[in-house]
Amino acid sequence: MLGTPTYALVITNASIKNNVATSIAHIHIHDHLIIKMLHHAMNITSTEAELFAIRCSINQTINTNNILKINVITDSFHLVKKIFNPSLYPYQSHSNFVLKKLCNFFTQNQENTIEFWECLSCSKWYLHDAVNKDTKSFSPVPLLPCKQL
């Protein structure tokens, strides 16, 4: 399995609750969950949280050995266009990072591909539904809670 060129299925989602953004990505290889990433950030938009989840999952997948094909599945397909538009200033750091990683990925092997698929949360597809439930059910507890006056 390790030496065989393969595909990766990446499912991402993000949610904001109590001003804390949660980004989750599950990476599957050969129909097995191999990586589950969870990130938190405060005071960011849901767009930034979704882009960060996509960015981290692409980076993690590309750094996995023998991956030829990547399918990224998100319920925020409109954000994928922002990754490939480096002129959008607020998202340039995500765009530049992803484009550099993908350039290296495509240079390594001419058969390498990446596709982005949309899967709306209402579709209840079991893999996306699992990521969606993880995102919405997680309740982070701040280590240093702030005082409100």
Q: What is the pLDDT of residues 83-94, one digit of tens each?
A: 777 676 677 777
Distance in angstroms (rounded) separating the CA atoms of residues 147 and 87: 38
Number of domains in the chain: 1
CATH number of residue 69's parent domain: 3.30.420.10
Of 112, 98, 84, 3, the C-alpha closest to 52 is 98
Q: Is residue 146 part of a domain?
A: no
Range of the domain at 87: 6-137
pLDDT value for 85: 74
Asked if residue 143 is part of any domain, the answer here is no
Q: Flag whether 65 is in a domain.
A: yes
| Structure-block tokens of residue 134 | 């993880």
C-alpha to C-alpha distance for 36 and 39, rounded to whole angstroms: 10
pLDDT at 1: 46
Higher pLDDT, 5 or 108: 108
144 within some domain: no
For residue 1, being part of any structural domain is answered with no
Q: How far, in Å, are 23, 27, 80, 107, 110 from residue 38 at the CA level?
A: 6, 12, 20, 29, 31
Determine, yes or no, domain membership for 145: no
The token duo for 94 is: 């995500």
- State the pLDDT at residue 55: 87
Over range 87-108, report the average pLDDT.
83
Indicate the pTM of the whole model.
Answer: 0.79
- Does the structure show a pLDDT above 90 at 107? yes
Is 53 inside any structural domain? Answer: yes
> CA 76, CA 51: separation in Å to the nearest integer?
9
- Which of 99, 106, 10, 22 is CA-nearest to residue 61? 10
Place 103 in a pLDDT band, splitting at 50, 70 and 90: very high
pLDDT at 19: 79
**Continuous H helices in 1-149:** 46-62, 77-83, 92-108, 126-137
- Tell me if 148 is assigned to some domain: no
Taking 90 as the threshold, does the pLDDT of residue 127 lie above it?
no
Q: Residue 42 — pLDDT band, cuts 50, 70, 90?
A: confident
For residue 133, give the nearest of 21, 13, 37, 40 by alpha carbon: 13
Q: Is the pLDDT of residue 53 over 60?
A: yes
Q: Which two tokens stand for residue 115?
A: 């596709």
**pLDDT tens digits, residue range 15-24?**
888 778 888 8
- pLDDT at position 149 is 45
Instruction: Give the HSE-up count for residue 137: Cα atoms under 13 Å, Cβ half-sphere.
Output: 6
